[in-house]
Chain A
Amino acid sequence: MSELLRVRHLTTSFVTEAGLARAVDDVSMTLVGGETLGIVGESGCGKTVTGLSILRLIDRPGHIADESVIEYQGENLMRLSPAQLRQVRGAEIAMIFQEPTTSLNPVLAVGSQVAEAVRAHRSVSRADARARAIELFQLVGIPDPATRVDDYPHQLSGGMQQRVMIAMALSCNPKILIADEPTTALDVTIQAQILELLVDLKRRLGMAMILITHDLGIVAGVADRVAVMYGGQIVEEADTDRLFRQPAHPYTSALLRAVPRLDKPVVRLATISGTVPPATAWPSACRFHPRCPHVMDRCRAEMPGLAGVGRDHLARCWLTEEPIRSDT
């Protein structure tokens, strides 16, 4: 399939009291039509800001570096006027957020909000927009849609609210859906339902999806390809199968070890010591080196580049250049 989205050298920084925070640092990625790209990493590693940056939803004190390229179907979104950008948002690329409860306006009926999303891009009558809202509610599996459209957000459960958010995002048939932790705020059983719904809708509507999550289990089940982020950078990118079988970056391996497994007796779950450093003070050279079990002198001195370690497999680690590390 053809390239739908091409991100190159995306750098987003925020001016904070503690200094300049480079939340996203030189991130590049490509999304082809119909595929699902998972972006994983711990909190504070730049996943959400990456998603927001693609739609240029970054406000003061944040700033996307001018040399960043966000190409959607060959058009660089960085060069669009605010009005042109609004034509892309929602209609071409839509986003759903982590907290359905706070992402819906509490004082407006949910159907009206979906209808408003429709009317943002199409000049249709109120009645037609409402009819479209009911249709969308049906699509996302909300029972009794003709009644539910008049409910207010607080009358719906979290799962139903997230379905409403999905309906809003899909209202203008976007080609890309950015889902930022779409299931994190939900019960485990509801999580599975929402994921299933997203996968099903993606296939039926032929969308591509960027799934941002910290949950490797979700990625394993849903994504075609995975990008692992750490410290505002992509540290590894590969096909999902390959990433899970042969992780090349110590951070990815550590993340995989920290996933609870049902097929092995649990002794004690592995953890990654330490925390993600603040974006105002990334460690010099390799950003993972203070937490890395395989740290070498070179890791403290030089930042590794994102290099190919196999077919469609990139990793940012000096270890991959030194396969016979037992000798050193």
Chain B
Amino acid sequence: MREALHRLSSNRRWRYGAILLAVLGALAALAPLLAPYDPTTQLGSARQLLPPSATHPFGTDMFGRDVLSRVIYGARISFVIALFSVLLSVTIGTGVGITAGYGTRLLDAVVMRAVDAALAIPRVFLLLLVLALWERVDVLSLIVILGATSWFGVSRIVRSEVLSVRERCYMEAARSLGVGHRRILLYHLLPNVTTPVIVAATLGMGQIVLIEAGLSFLGLGIQEPTASLGRMMQSGSTLLVNAPWTSIFPGAVIVLTVIGFSLVGDGFRDTLDPRTT
């Protein structure tokens, strides 16, 4: 464990990504302490669309709300959604993948063809379809919807890993010692798929941040007045020339978050696999 941490921290990409995410994560986690203003309070007509200044480092939006505070709270929601929907998708994906890979060929064929079919539908289209069924979208339902539609890739990764691991000699050795299926699954198989799952989960977090921002940009995600990065970019887009700060700062946070997750995910991939070191 300590050795793995050491290898990780000597991977430059992982280190930069981790620092980036640590800063953004701390902002999100400590939002109530760090945000100078309440993100939804309108500070009056005199404070509308103020450019960045000492009192409002990121300026204010057209309703006179502090952009810095809204960016911090928006990042908080993005992180929460990404974290929990990825947890959900990884759990479902790992479960389905292990079942398909370890189960009978028929089960495998049925499950994986269904996954193929689901993967054939473009993700955004699938989300629009599902979201159209919801009347009100709150954070929880967004987490469920995003999580439930993004496990297909994980299940394929896990299944292929299980298919290769189940043929290894140590699986036969375990069976020759009378180890049951449940213990083989939990003890021998699961640890073998953790590395690809961790990589997929990390990269998936970045994707979810992007998708959530995209949905909110389209007006389908988080609703006003709750602060959301995608929503802020959308409302700022009409003011791009006159008040660029209202969309540039939320956009920059999205970009930094996605870059952070990509760097950390790549770093995990490069260093975590015990078989390549």
Contact = CB atoms under 8 A, between A and B. Distances in A.
Contacts of A260: none
A314 B60 CA distance: 97
B178 A90 contact: yes
16 contacts: A87-B178, A88-B178, A89-B177, A90-B177, A90-B178, A99-B169, A102-B169, A105-B168, A105-B170, A105-B191, A108-B187, A119-B183, A120-B178, A121-B178, A152-B274, A169-B177
A116 B179 CA distance: 8
Given A99-B169, A116-B183, A107 B274 contact: yes
Contacts of B117: none
B173 A165 contact: yes
B175 interface: yes
B275 interface: yes
Contacts of B183: 116, 119-120
Interface in B236-274: 274
Contacts of B168: 102, 105
Interface in A134-192: 152, 154, 165, 168-169, 171
Interface in A54-80: 55, 57
A88 B178 CA distance: 7
B176 interface: yes
Contacts of B191: 105, 107-108
Interface string A76-108: 000000010111111100110101001111111
Interface in B173-218: 173-180, 183, 187-188, 191-192, 194
A103 B173 contact: yes
The 9 closest A-B pairs by CB, nearest first: A90-B177, A89-B178, A90-B178, A102-B169, A86-B178, A95-B176, A103-B173, A103-B169, A120-B179
B119 to A, nearest CB: 28
Nearest to B167: A59
Nearest to B183: A120
Interface of A is mostly: mixed
A194 interface: no
Contacts of B170: 102-105
Contacts of A10: none
A173 to B, nearest CB: 13
Contacts of B188: 105, 108
A116 B178 contact: no
Contacts of B179: 86, 90, 116-117, 120
B188 to A, nearest CB: 6
Nearest to B104: A60
Contacts of A119: 183
Most buried by A among B176, B188, B191, B275: B176
A91 B192 contact: no
Given A86-B180, A105-B192, A57 B187 contact: no
A97 B173 contact: yes
B178 A106 contact: no
A94 B274 contact: no
Most buried by A among B180, B187, B192: B187
A189 to B, nearest CB: 24
Nearest to A92: B178
B138 interface: no
B224 interface: no
Contacts of B192: 105, 107
A171 B173 CA distance: 13
A52 B176 CA distance: 8
A94 B173 CA distance: 9
B172 interface: yes
Interface in A97-131: 97, 99, 102-108, 116-117, 119-121
A99 to B, nearest CB: 6
Contacts of B275: 106
Contacts of B169: 97, 99, 102-103
A108 B188 CA distance: 8
A249 B185 CA distance: 47
A120 B187 CA distance: 11
Interface string B147-179: 000000000000000000000111011111111
B176 A57 contact: yes
A89 to B, nearest CB: 4
Contacts of B176: 55, 57, 89-90, 94-95, 97
A104 B174 CA distance: 9
Contacts of B173: 95, 97, 103-104, 165, 168
B273 to A, nearest CB: 9
Given A104-B173, A105-B170, A169-B177, 18 more contacts: A57-B172, A57-B175, A86-B180, A88-B178, A89-B175, A90-B177, A90-B178, A91-B178, A94-B176, A95-B173, A102-B168, A102-B169, A103-B170, A105-B188, A105-B191, A116-B183, A120-B177, A120-B180
